[in-house]
Homo-oligomer: A and B are copies of this chain.
Amino acid sequence: MPSSTVNQEHNENLLTQVTEYLDAGSSVEIRNLIHSLYPAETANILESLDIEQREKIWGVIPPSVMGEILIRVGTEVGQGLLKMTDRKDLIKATENLESDDMVDLLHSLPEPLLSEVMESIGVHERNRLESALSYDDHTAGGLMSLDVLTIRPDMTLEVVMRYLNKRGGMPSSTDSLIVVDRSDHLLGVLSLSDLLTNKPSTKVANAMDVRVRGIPYQMSATEVAILFEQRQMLSAPVVAENGRLMGRITIDDVVGVIREEADHSIMSMAGLDEEQDMFAPVMTSAKRRAVWLGVNLLTAFLASGVIGLFEATLEEIVALAVLMPIVASMGGIAGSQTLTLVVRGLALRQVSSANAKQLLIKEVSVGVVNGFLWASIVSIIASLWFQDMDLGLLLGAAMIINLVCAAVAGASIPIILDKMGIDPALAGGVLLTTVTDCIGFLAFLGLATIFLL
């Protein structure tokens, strides 16, 4: 019986295979292929297809795994799939989900549907879910699962093992049992590996890890992820203000948070939303992107306005018009390097008011050094190009000014935005470009007006 290994190019091949079957209309092959996949794989494929193809695939998915898939696609793709789903199938889809996944799915249902699904659930379960639904999606409460195995500190390990064996089955990704007192206050955690390797006669109280702290249910998902990484935890108990156990967060939830946040930073830098459907209808996509283009148009007109102040100068020396984008563009690049460094530092909690000043000094120094370096190079090139040394020198001076301003703006804009509670990844780039464009044009054309006219 030789062991089989995972195919390296698996995901890409899958997509190619599915589209081939779709093009050929081979519905039996599609059905067989889809039924052999993990829910996350199917979710990934659905996101990679356009809406028409997606509908064909969704049609062959059994209701029992629909729930697992729905919670794994982006919000917008999910909304589209829900519209294609029969109500009865949807109710069936919810039945196989664990409580935290169930809550995620319920969060995404529009109102009439939500009530219908809730009514199909037993009373006890409904009450549990209703309280879970009240927690914010982006907090520990929203991440946690309600299915927790708890034990008492005065049990022996032998009793615990007998209890587990009689109970049979554990919630998924259970790596440890949570130890609570009679009123459900968190006392500690007993890992399955400690349970198995300690003497059976040992009391739970003597084998459990008491250093484990409960995560407050209001803690943000971001903080939870940082905590899991720093302490290399596989799971952690979530507690209420009074120390009572509420649920349990496992590392697979945390992996989702990390992936989403990385996604969010990258997408929001381009004014995009990570939950949006890559294959949304053209008009929908165009409308959304238009907002970002509009914001940037304001910036562009502001820069044009600055140039407009110097129309008389430009009329005299047209070479200025040829060279001016260089100053603005180099400022933009240098500034975005500093901006990226600081935005990342803020996200990793490595930049705060405690070291902001040192970082600013360092970035400005880098700006000065690179300013002088590139100023001398562009000076020489421009002097030779236009046979005008004064013009070259002016270009260099403007470059130095803009690179220093870019460093100041790149370092301070994200810190200020962060303090104001605005996402620096989203707004930082536009603000920075406004500064580097305007100062670039102002410095170059301003200096030219003073010294060359």
Contact = CB atoms under 8 A, between A and B. Distances in A.
A431 interface: no
B362 A279 contact: yes
Interface in A193-211: 193, 195-200
Contacts of A174: 193
A416 interface: no
Among the interface residues A185, A254, A318, A378, which one has the most CB atoms of the partner chain B within 10 A? A318
A119 interface: no
A232 B252 contact: yes
A170 B186 contact: no
B169 A5 contact: no
B307 A321 contact: yes
A341 interface: yes
Q: Count the copies.
A: 2
Contacts of A289: 334, 337, 366, 370
Nearest to A345: B278
A287 B86 CA distance: 61
Interface in A259-277: 259, 261-263, 265-267, 269-272
A239 B195 contact: no
A88 interface: no
Contact of A283 (B164, B318, B369): B369
Nearest to A230: B40
Interface stretch (A110-118, A122-130, A294-302): A294-302
29 contacts: A2-B243, A3-B185, A3-B213, A3-B239, A3-B243, A8-B219, A16-B354, A40-B229, A161-B161, A161-B196, A165-B196, A170-B193, A174-B193, A175-B234, A258-B262, A267-B340, A270-B336, A270-B337, A271-B333, A279-B359, A279-B362, A282-B365, A285-B362, A286-B370, A289-B366, A297-B377, A297-B378, A300-B325, A311-B322
Interface of A: 1-6, 8, 10-12, 15-16, 18-20, 38, 40-41, 44, 47-50, 161, 164-165, 167-170, 172-175, 181, 185-187, 192-193, 195-200, 213-216, 218-220, 223, 226-232, 234, 239, 243, 251-252, 254-256, 258-259, 261-263, 265-267, 269-272, 278-279, 282-283, 285-286, 289-290, 292-294, 296-297, 299-301, 303-304, 307-308, 311, 314-315, 318-326, 328-330, 333-334, 336-337, 339-341, 343-345, 348-355, 358-359, 362, 365-366, 369-370, 373-374, 377-378, 381, 433, 437
